[in-house]
């Protein structure tokens, strides 16, 4: 470690990931909006030949928003907040700085290759695990480098106690590492077919129901350890810091954390209700999903109570608005998920549009809101300039909130309608509707969802513009703000 009189936090890596979060956020949400429009207006499938079809673009959308936008947001906020809660600068260790830069460089290569290969049609055909084996291997290296940087920073820390956010980042690292390795065990078809298959196309090492179980052990925990755990870590740092209010109950955060860790890993089989998975395992998935309400709400309520006595900030500071609403959407989403995991409800909800509706009140209202608020909070500290426009943030907030509400309400109605129509039978037990009947009925809701996409992506462009102007031409700050982020 170097001794340096004017030691400062080094945000080089956090800035790099901020840029990629903005870039991938825009690309991923734009593709999402296009495929939402394709479901309402199928002719839009034929804009770009094979590269523009729903089937090609849908995995690209999920992968870009998860591994491009969200993971960039996680790394950006980690490299920003970990230094601060550990009270140690990345500039103090050339090794950590090197690891951080190497990790970003490899991440950029992997993310770009992911976009290109998936657009070309290379896929393992496993949800949220579409990337083929060469990319899987590269991601393992990136993830290990993140772990090295994380534990090296922890190793040289000045603050003995690890703050709540750090537990969640560590959990994200460990959880994804374990699940990713198991789910991506695959063999190129070239080797399994005596040279007839492709070296670039692989098949899972598991088969049938086992494959489905491992897949959804991963699939659901991608939601757990990418969309939930690190985002909870973010809110535990950014909401107290932005509001100047210490977390309401540290003890509650301990209980919520361990509760989440014990329960989440067992809930994945709720994706396989009414399938060939053993019945006891389905029941276990349902029960653990319902139990999950407790630790999830523990964190969310802890965050809302952190604002106790300071609710005036909700009207004065748009970043608090984003974070409080994010926490509220987290509560909504973590109540809705367990309801869908109850077997009888799932009989109607499974395979319907209620599922993407549930996913999106989580990812738009919780994940994206929290990441954008965190990046806004970081911007004045990283670039030493005030946020370019408060009015623009306010407008963005209302536009995107409207978008989320339109998205999930339309999908609730569409999903339940769909589920009821699929199972409706007449007095003789014959199905009353054909598939196309449901498509016709659902058209208006699909159109509303596409509109919601347009509104949300417009809000994201406003966010990107505000961030870029903050980086380049906003008023310079003479000193770092302590709590509330300054904005013009």
Partner 1 sequence: MDIRELQGYATFFMTIVFVLVLYWYIVYLYRSEKKGEKDYEKLGNIALDDEIDSKPINSSNPISNDKKERNK
By the rule CB under 8 A, 424 interacts with partner 1: no
Of 20, 145, 29, 6, nearest to 77 by C-alpha is 20
Exposed / middle / buried, residue 11 (Cβ in 10 Å: 0-12, 13-18, 19+): buried
By the rule CB under 8 A, 241 interacts with partner 1: yes
Structure tokens at 357: 């509706």
d(CA 369, CA 322) in angstroms, rounded, equals: 6
Sign of CA dihedral 108, 111, 116, 117: positive
By the rule CB under 8 A, 85 interacts with partner 1: yes
Which stretch, 202-210, 233-241, 309-317, 336-344, contacts partner 1 (CB under 8 A)?
Answer: 233-241
Contacts of 470 (CB under 8 A, 6+ apart): 379, 380, 383, 385, 386, 387, 388
Closest approach of partner 1 to the CB of residue 24, in Å = 27
Binder among 73, 240, 318, 362 for partner 1 (CB under 8 A): 240
Please say which residue, 165 or 282, places its beta carbon nearer to partner 1.
165
Closest approach of partner 1 to the CB of residue 291, in Å = 10
Closest approach of partner 1 to the CB of residue 87, in Å = 6
Q: Which of residues 271-290 bind partner 1 (CB under 8 A)?
A: 280
Contacts of 254 (CB under 8 A, 6+ apart): none
Of 90, 88, 21, 25, nearest to 379 by C-alpha is 21
Binder among 247, 324, 332, 393 for partner 1 (CB under 8 A): 247
First to last CA, the chain: 39
d(CA 165, CA 381) in angstroms, rounded, equals: 19
By the rule CB under 8 A, 88 interacts with partner 1: yes
487 - beta bridge partners? 387
Binder among 49, 160, 309, 479 for partner 1 (CB under 8 A): 160
Binder among 251, 315, 427, 429 for partner 1 (CB under 8 A): 251
For partner 1 (CB under 8 A), the number of binding residues is: 38
Binder among 244, 312, 398, 425 for partner 1 (CB under 8 A): 244
Contact (CB, 8 A) for 358 and 223:
no
Which stretch, 38-46, 163-171, 213-221, 367-375, contacts partner 1 (CB under 8 A)?
Answer: 163-171
By the rule CB under 8 A, 478 interacts with partner 1: no
By the rule CB under 8 A, 4 interacts with partner 1: yes
Please say which residue, 80 or 397, places its beta carbon nearer to partner 1.
80
Contact (CB, 8 A) for 422 and 434:
no
By the rule CB under 8 A, 167 interacts with partner 1: no
Binder among 12, 23, 157, 437 for partner 1 (CB under 8 A): 157
Structure tokens at 386: 């005030």
By the rule CB under 8 A, 483 interacts with partner 1: yes
Binder among 258, 274, 311, 398 for partner 1 (CB under 8 A): 258
Structure tokens at 40: 């309402």
d(CA 192, CA 343) in angstroms, rounded, equals: 38
Binder among 42, 87, 105, 274 for partner 1 (CB under 8 A): 87
By the rule CB under 8 A, 159 interacts with partner 1: yes
Binder among 12, 209, 249, 402 for partner 1 (CB under 8 A): 249
By the rule CB under 8 A, 331 interacts with partner 1: no
Closest approach of partner 1 to the CB of residue 159, in Å = 5
Decide: helix, strand or coil at residue 323.
helix
By the rule CB under 8 A, 255 interacts with partner 1: yes
Please say which residue, 165 or 438, places its beta carbon nearer to partner 1.
165
Of 69, 62, 88, nearest to 25 by C-alpha is 69
By the rule CB under 8 A, 5 interacts with partner 1: yes
d(CA 299, CA 261) in angstroms, rounded, equals: 13
* Burial track 40-49 (b if 16+ CB lie within 10 A, e otherwise): beeebbeeee
By the rule CB under 8 A, 246 interacts with partner 1: yes
Closest approach of partner 1 to the CB of residue 106, in Å = 28
Closest approach of partner 1 to the CB of residue 325, in Å = 20
H helices of 193-342, in order, are: 208-222, 229-243, 250-264, 279-291, 293-306, 312-316, 318-341
d(CA 239, CA 304) in angstroms, rounded, equals: 10
Distance of CA 308 to the CA centre of its chain: 28
Which stretch, 204-212, 242-250, 309-317, 417-425, contacts partner 1 (CB under 8 A)?
Answer: 242-250
Residues that bind partner 1 (CB under 8 A): 1, 3-5, 7-9, 83-85, 87-89, 157-161, 163-165, 236-237, 240-241, 244, 246-247, 249-251, 254-255, 258-259, 262, 280, 483
């Amino acid at each position: 470690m170097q001794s340096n009189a004017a030691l400062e936090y080094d945000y080089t890596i956090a800035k790099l990931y901020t840029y990629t979060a903005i870039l991938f956020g825009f690309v991923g949400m734009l593709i999402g909006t296009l495929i939402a429009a394709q479901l309402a207006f199928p002719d839009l499938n034929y804009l770009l030949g094979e590269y523009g079809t729903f089937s090609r673009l849908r995995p690209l959308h999920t992968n870009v928003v998860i591994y491009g936008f969200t993971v960039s947001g996680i790394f950006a906020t980690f490299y920003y907040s970990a230094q601060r809660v550990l009270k140690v600068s990345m500039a103090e260790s050339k090794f950590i700085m090197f690891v951080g830069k190497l990790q970003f460089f490899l991440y950029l290569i992997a993310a770009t290759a992911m976009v290109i290969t998936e657009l070309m049609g290379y896929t393992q055909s496993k949800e949220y695990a579409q990337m083929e084996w060469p990319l899987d291997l590269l991601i393992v290296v990136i993830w290990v480098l993140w772990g090295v940087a994380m534990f090296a920073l922890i190793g040289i820390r000045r603050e003995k106690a690890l703050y709540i956010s750090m537990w969640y980042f560590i959990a994200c690292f460990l959880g994804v590492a374990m699940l990713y390795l198991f789910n991506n065990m695959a063999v190129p078809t070239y080797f399994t077919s005596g040279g007839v298959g492709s070296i670039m196309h692989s098949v899972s090492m598991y088969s049938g129901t086992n494959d489905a179980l491992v897949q959804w052990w991963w699939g659901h925990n991608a939601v757990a350890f990418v969309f939930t755990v690190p985002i909870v870590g973010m809110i535990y740092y950014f909401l107290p810091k932005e509001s100047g209010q210490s977390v309401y109950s540290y003890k509650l955060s301990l209980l919520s954390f361990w509760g989440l860790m014990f329960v989440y890993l067992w809930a994945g089989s709720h994706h396989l209700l009414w399938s060939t998975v053993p019945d006891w395992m389905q029941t276990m998935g349902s029960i653990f999903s319902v139990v999950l309400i407790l630790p999830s709400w523990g964190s969310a309520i802890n965050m809302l109570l952190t604002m106790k006595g300071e609710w005036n900030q909700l009207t004065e500071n748009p970043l608090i608005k984003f974070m409080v609403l994010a926490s509220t959407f987290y509560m909504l989403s973590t109540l809705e998920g367990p309801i869908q995991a109850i077997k009888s409800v799932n009989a109607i909800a499974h395979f319907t549009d209620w599922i993407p509706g549930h996913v999106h009140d989580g990812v738009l209202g919780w994940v994206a809101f929290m990441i954008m608020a965190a990046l806004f909070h970081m911007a004045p500290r990283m670039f030493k300039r005030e946020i370019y426009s408060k009015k623009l943030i306010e407008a963005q907030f209302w536009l995107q909130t409207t978008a989320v509400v339109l998205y999930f309400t339309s999908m609730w109605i569409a999903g339940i309608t769909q589920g009821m129509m699929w199972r409706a039978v007449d007095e003789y037990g014959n199905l009353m509707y054909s598939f196309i009947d449901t498509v016709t009925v659902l058209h208006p809701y699909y159109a509303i969802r596409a509109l919601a996409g347009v509104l949300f992506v417009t809000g994201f462009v406003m966010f990107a513009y505000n961030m870029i102007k903050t980086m380049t031409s906003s008023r310079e700050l003479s000193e770092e703000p302590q709590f509330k982020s300054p904005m013009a």
